[in-house]
Each structure stands twice: as C-alpha cells, then as structure tokens.
Amino acid sequence: MKCPFCEFDETKVIDTRPTDEGRTIRRRRECINCGKRFTTYEKIENIQMVVVKKDKTRELFDRGKILNGIIRACEKRPIALKDIESITDNIEKKLQNAMDNEITTDQIGELVMDELKNLDDVAYVRFASVYRQFKDINTFMDELKKIINNC
C-alpha cells in the first residue's frame, strides 16, 4: 500500500478491525519511511448485475426496487422494517451467489415470493397479485387455495 503522504511503497499494518457487520475490514497503517499513519478499508467487490425485463430491455440491478416492492406488499401489516430489510438482503445474497451477470425479473419475483410466503400470507398474496398479474378472480382464488392448503 502506497503512503498517501510521501508516496513510499512500504507500510505496515498496525491494527485490523471488521466493520459494517463484517463486510468491510478497517486497517490502520504506518508508513515505513515517514512514520505517518493512515486508514484503509477493504471490502468485497460485488458483481455488477443487469436485470433483463419482460420486454427484453436491460437495466442495472437496483436493490431499492426490491425493497420498495416488498414495503408496498407489507403495507399496514405488523412487519418490522428490519425484517423487510433482512429478506431484501437474503434475496440480494442469493442473486450475488448465483454468479450470473444477467438476471431476469422472473427470477427476482420468485425469490421475493418465496421470502414473503415465509413472512406473511397477506403480503405474499398482495405481491403475487401484482407480480403474476392475475387475469380474473378465479386465478386469484387458485392462489389463495394453495396458501390455505399449505396451512
């Protein structure tokens, strides 16, 4: 690591601590040449994901869109924001772990529905009604029957 003060190429690590819930490492360093100290941060570089939409257009993955969709589905339900953020984190981790540069909205929608099914039945049905675009009351009732039969 190059010293930001004197540009010398050798430094030594004085202290290392995990930060940001273990996602980042903070290191205090000291320059071998000038003796000045500075801090560096090391974190995992995430794969840039592209979302392929139903009309075949592509856009950069935006975690906020998933979070907003889940928040809308959970409106007026007794679900804590930390639980919503937690399932959003789970979905993002699953997508990152798949190691695919391109993901479809179908993949994202199914992951959201799997998470919501375990969290809250009403939120699940709300999300499913928008995601699956129920054409009529019968397809909506079929989905409700599946939930009732699993209880």
* Residue 139, in any domain of the structure: yes
pLDDT for the residue 150? 76
* Residue 5, in any domain of the structure: no
* Four-point Cα dihedral 105, 81, 124, 106, nearest 10: 10
Residues 98 and 146 in one domain: yes
Convert the pLDDT of each residue in 89-148 to its tens digit. 999 999 988 888 899 999 999 999 999 999 998 998 889 888 777 767 777 788 778 878
Query: What is the DSSP-derived secondary structure letter of residue 101?
Result: S
Task: Spell 9-44 as b/e; 16+ CB within 10 A means b.
Answer: eebeeeeeeeeeeeeeeebebbbeeeeeeeeeeeee
Residues 69 and 108 in one domain: yes
Residues 32 and 55 in one domain: no
Bridging pattern class, strands 102-104 and 50-52: parallel
Bridging pattern class, strands 24-31 and 37-43: antiparallel
* Residue 127, in any domain of the structure: yes
Residues 64 and 85 in one domain: yes
Q: Is the pLDDT of residue 88 over 90?
A: yes
| Residues 47/24, Cβ–Cβ less than 8 Å | no
* Residue 6, in any domain of the structure: no
Residues 29 and 86 in one domain: no
Cβ-proximal residues to 75 (8 Å cutoff; 6+ apart), any chain = 126
* Residue 121, in any domain of the structure: yes
Residues 63 and 37 in one domain: no
**Mean pLDDT rounded to a whole number for the chain:** 90
Residues 74 and 28 in one domain: no
pLDDT for the residue 28? 97
* Residue 35, in any domain of the structure: yes
Residues 32 and 59 in one domain: no
Convert the pLDDT of each residue in 51-84 to its tens digit. 999 999 999 999 999 999 999 999 999 999 999 9
* Residue 55, in any domain of the structure: yes
pLDDT for the residue 151? 62
Residues 106 and 143 in one domain: yes
Residues 34 and 106 in one domain: no
Residues 22 and 66 in one domain: no
Q: Is the pLDDT of residue 47 over 80?
A: no
pLDDT for the residue 20? 77
pLDDT for the residue 43? 84
- Residues spanned by the domain of 20: 11-43
Residue carrying the six token digits 């599946």 = 146
* Residue 131, in any domain of the structure: yes
Q: Is the pLDDT of residue 5 over 90?
A: yes
Q: Given pLDDT bands bounded at 50, 70 and 90, which one contains residue 4?
A: very high
Residues 100 and 39 in one domain: no
Total domains in the chain come to 2
